[in-house]
Structure 1
């Protein structure tokens, strides 16, 4: 009985911070970061059919067999990762999907609070997608009014760990 927590959104939205916080408080959890898999492990472009899609899918399957919680976080564009995510959702006993739907100004503001980054506000503007939610049942949409603490509480409440 494994719970899948999917946290998606634009660069700078806060998804990685939230994922790391959940990983700290949830025992027996696997954290899968799209950036780690795609950029650091495989160094592939974020496009349909890239190798990170199948590796993330294999990691999800591993986590489903070995862990109580699997946390998947990243931009995870619907057009690129959506089909794989929708397929994997059916194999987990519980699924929580989160999409950070923030304005471009808020993502740039949050990005500027980071100490070290490898991209600029201009990059954020180029990559920004206004609404890329998965549109799956129960998807939680977080806007800029949802703090890290509120997001964590909402997710933990949904999985009965609060």
Structure 2
């Protein structure tokens, strides 16, 4: 059996940093049904209505959904806060199972994430005080070199970078 080429893209960062916007922007640049976005918030908050704690079911479900996409040979984008301590092992397994992988992490100050959050349609869904509880600063994964995205990177430039990385490799 020949292995299908699979591509994993991981986009991590604190709440309000732009992960979902970037993931959706990348998906739009590829043909329909070729790119699967696996949003941590959708799986954790909407599908399971679960807290983000160690050993939570969403971690396994995110991994299984992403693995399905990789088996099908899709471009799979996993995006979310994806705390390295809780999600790192699952992300490492996915990375090992993909034909190729790309990892990006937003490294923004808390003030910048609050500023970006204020401009989002869902800005009234949680407060800066709640965001402060989730904020963890730069938290690199130990098994891969992530592309570090700072406040000087526009969301459009990040989408372009990720699409170029996927197409060139």
TM bin, normalised by shorter chain, reads over 0.9
- Is the aligned partner of 1:134 residue 2:138? no
Asked if 1:101 corresponds to 2:89, the answer is no
Aligned counterparts of 1:53 and 1:85: Cα–Cα separation in 2: 9
Q: Does 1:68 align with 2:74?
A: yes
Q: Give TM-score, length-normalised by structure 2.
A: 0.91
Runs of 5+ consecutive residues of structure 1 not aligned to the other structure = none
Most deviating of 116-125 and 34-43? 116-125
Residues 15-54 of structure 1 mapped to structure 2, 5 A cutoff:
15-27=19-31, 28-54=34-60
Taking the TM superposition and a 5 Å limit, the aligned residue runs for 1:80-91 are 80-91=86-97
Q: Which residue of the partner structure matches residue 124 of structure 1?
A: 131
Q: Does the 8 A contact of 2:29 with 2:163 survive in 1?
A: no
Runs (4 or more) in structure 1 with deviation over 2 Å come to 135-138
The SS at the match of 2:152 is coil
1: distance between equivalents of 2:109 and 2:88?
22
Give the superposed CA RMSD. Answer: 1.5
Residue matched to 2:118:
112
TM-score by length of 1: 0.94
Unaligned runs of 5+ in 2: none
* Residue number in structure 1 paired with 2:153: 146
> Whole-Å Cα distance in 1 between the matches of residues 157 and 90 of structure 2?
29
Distance in 2 of aligned mates of 1:153 and 1:82: 26
Q: Secondary structure at the match of 1:76?
A: coil
Q: Within 1, Cα distance between the matches of 2:77 and 2:87? A: 15
* Number of aligned positions between the proteins: 162
